[in-house]
Structure 1
Amino acid sequence: MMETSSTSEQTLRLCDTHSHISFKQFDHDRERIISQLKNGELEFLIEIGIDLETSKKVVELASKHENIFAAIGIHPHESNDTPSNYTEEMGILAEYKTVVAIGEIGLDYYRNLSPKEIQKRVFREQLFLSRELKLPVVVHVRDAYDDAYEIIKEFKGELHGVIHAFSGTIADAKRFVDLGFKLGIGGPLTYPKNNELREIVRHFSLVHFLSETDCPYLPPQKYRGKRNEPAYVRFVIELISELKGISASSCSTILCKNAIDLFKLQI
């Protein structure tokens, strides 16, 4: 029997490995998103912190709801305002069983909201913490791929994780894949001018990718200018499947398995 498009939609496993539904943009309909997890429309979310305050919020959210998992970390934009004992506080938060990663951490030289040297110090400190806690990392990189690679390379063989919202070159992709890192692919894959990212998806094996949204940011082309949300990961998965020449159902299953294996999710 030929599979209809509606059946195909029902068989997609929608896994968003980078969401921010704890942000204020979801204050009016957060429960609707959570209901999508309860009814099986969404399989699971990795809810991401960007500073100590939001890290506490994501842990609280994940602790209250099944199939929401937490990542705790200091985003590079926030690294200049971090208290001296932040790694101790993160270590305490990491004791919650719903915490599956350290992130969102990394380097951002595009906006440079924190001095580069402080960004690098805080990034490296959190990589040390990740190694100590044996947790993968969720890494934000913008206009800083060389420095991010050199710092992560210091931990070669000791750390794994994902380069979130990957926007580098195919050469950058190879360097991080060779270090054992996944590449996070979200809405920008669908942007008409983003040919290089589509070529990267074609070039590397599907085992190297994770599906994500970064909601409320980076919506797929269909929703440009509007708030992104976890269910829109469907459009990313469908385009990845097209680029790889496999069914969307099979693609979604592989992408979810990649995340389950990386974050050691108990689902």
Structure 2
Amino acid sequence: MVTSSMSWPMPDFTSLKLVDTHAHISFSQFDHDRGRIIGQIEEDTISLLIEVGTNVEDSRRASDTVCSLKNAFFSAGVHPHDSSELDEQGVLTLEKLLSHPKAIALGEMGLDYFRNLSPVDAQINAFEIQLELASKLGKPVIIHVRNAYNEAYEIIKSTGYFNGVIHAFSGDLEFARKFVDLGLFLGIGGPVTYKKNDELRRVAREIPLERLLCETDCPYLPPVPLRGKRNEPYYVGYVIEEIAAQKNIPAVDCSVKLFENALELFSLKS
């Protein structure tokens, strides 16, 4: 059970550029204090937030939640868990949502063979459809992969469209290098702080900083020391500090570069 994190003393990340490239603040876990988090975005405590859609209806909520905020944008897409629900009308609705000036990516999409909440064939079909739509629209993609790294790699490679990020990367260094060699970014979140996750720390250490993004996937995957509590965008600071430690560079410098990476991928540079 994930509980509220509000009883935990807020760490001081005021010196960092806090960038959350994968958030779900429109989810019900934030119904009681979403206004506080929106205030952090509006006050520049959070320098950039991407609110990520997981199905057609959720993508609408993502748009409604952040479309008026100065430092926030949204993506629209269908998660592999919901792949069975993606039909022709759904694709048309996604395309309409993606015409909004605040819509900066397509996703999250991909493959999840750990839970298989949609059949494998439906996952592959929805993934390929969304990659094709992203290529048509020239939007970057946010890709979810779990227990299907080889399959996802082959599908992405076959499309020839390599503009995006492997969100919540949890593969090994070999796969990290393969995706980066295609031109993709890797999204690094709270698990990089987990005691037993030496391989992800190795990825953060060995992959060039220029190909990394920081994220929370809030309300999920809270970093140490918040395991078991609800995650939120501000806690991306823990992720930034850990990436900086693996790179042996100041956290402030690391946060600026991660911010610049996000601006580059999502075409937000002025």
C-alpha deviation, 1:68, in angstroms: 1.0
**Residue number among 27, 40, 43 corresponding to 1:23 in the alignment:** 27
After the TM superposition, which of the residue ranges 195-204 and 76-85 deviates more from structure 2?
76-85
Contact 1:105-1:138 within 8 A present in 2 as well: yes
Match of 1:4 in 2: none
1:245 aligns with 2:245: no
C-alpha deviation, 1:266, in angstroms: 5.2
- Percent same amino acid among aligned pairs? 49
Distance (whole Å) between structure 1 residues aligned to residue 220 and residue 158 of structure 2: 31
Match of 2:37 in 1: 33
Residue type of the partner of 2:258? L
Contact 1:18-1:46 within 8 A present in 2 as well: yes
1:189 aligns with 2:171: no
Name the SS for the 2:200 alignment partner.
helix
1:14-53 per-position Cα deviation (integer Å, ceiling 9, x unaligned):
0000000000000000010011112221101000000000
After the TM superposition, which of the residue ranges 78-87 and 234-243 deviates more from structure 2?
78-87
Match of 2:224 in 1: 221
Distance (whole Å) between structure 1 residues aligned to residue 188 and residue 209 of structure 2: 11
Distance (whole Å) between structure 1 residues aligned to residue 137 and residue 238 of structure 2: 34
C-alpha deviation, 1:10, in angstroms: 2.6
**Residue number among 254, 257, 268 corresponding to 1:254 in the alignment:** 257
Name the SS for the 1:210 alignment partner.
strand
Match of 2:64 in 1: 60
Name the SS for the 1:166 alignment partner.
coil
1:265 aligns with 2:237: no
1:150 aligns with 2:154: yes
Within a 5 Å distance, the mapping from 1:129-168 to structure 2 comes to: 129-156=133-160, 158-168=161-171
Match of 2:3 in 1: none
Match of 1:44 in 2: 48
1:74 aligns with 2:78: yes
1:68-124 per-position Cα deviation (integer Å, ceiling 9, x unaligned):
100100000001122332111111111100000001000000000000011001000
1:149-207 per-position Cα deviation (integer Å, ceiling 9, x unaligned):
00000122x33100000000111101100110000000000000000000111111100
1:128 aligns with 2:132: yes
Contact 1:61-1:68 within 8 A present in 2 as well: no
Output the aligned Cα RMSD. Answer: 1.1
Normalised to the residue count of structure 2, the TM-score between the two structures is 0.94
Name the SS for the 1:106 alignment partner.
strand
Within a 5 Å distance, the mapping from 1:75-114 to structure 2 comes to: 75-114=79-118
Distance (whole Å) between structure 2 residues aligned to residue 253 and residue 64 of structure 1: 24
Residue 133 to residue 79, structure 1, CA distance change in 2 (3 Å):
same
After the TM superposition, which of the residue ranges 59-68 and 178-187 deviates more from structure 2?
59-68
Name the SS for the 2:67 alignment partner.
helix
Residue type of the partner of 1:68? A
Runs of 4+ aligned residues of structure 1 deviating over 4 Å after TM superposition are none
Residue type of the partner of 2:205? R
Gaps of 5+ in 2: 1-11
Match of 1:209 in 2: 212
Contact 1:131-1:159 within 8 A present in 2 as well: no
Residue type of the partner of 1:112? N
1:235 aligns with 2:217: no
Residue type of the partner of 2:206? H
Residue type of the partner of 1:200? V
Distance (whole Å) between structure 2 residues aligned to residue 146 and residue 85 of structure 1: 30
Distance (whole Å) between structure 2 residues aligned to residue 118 and residue 153 of structure 1: 19
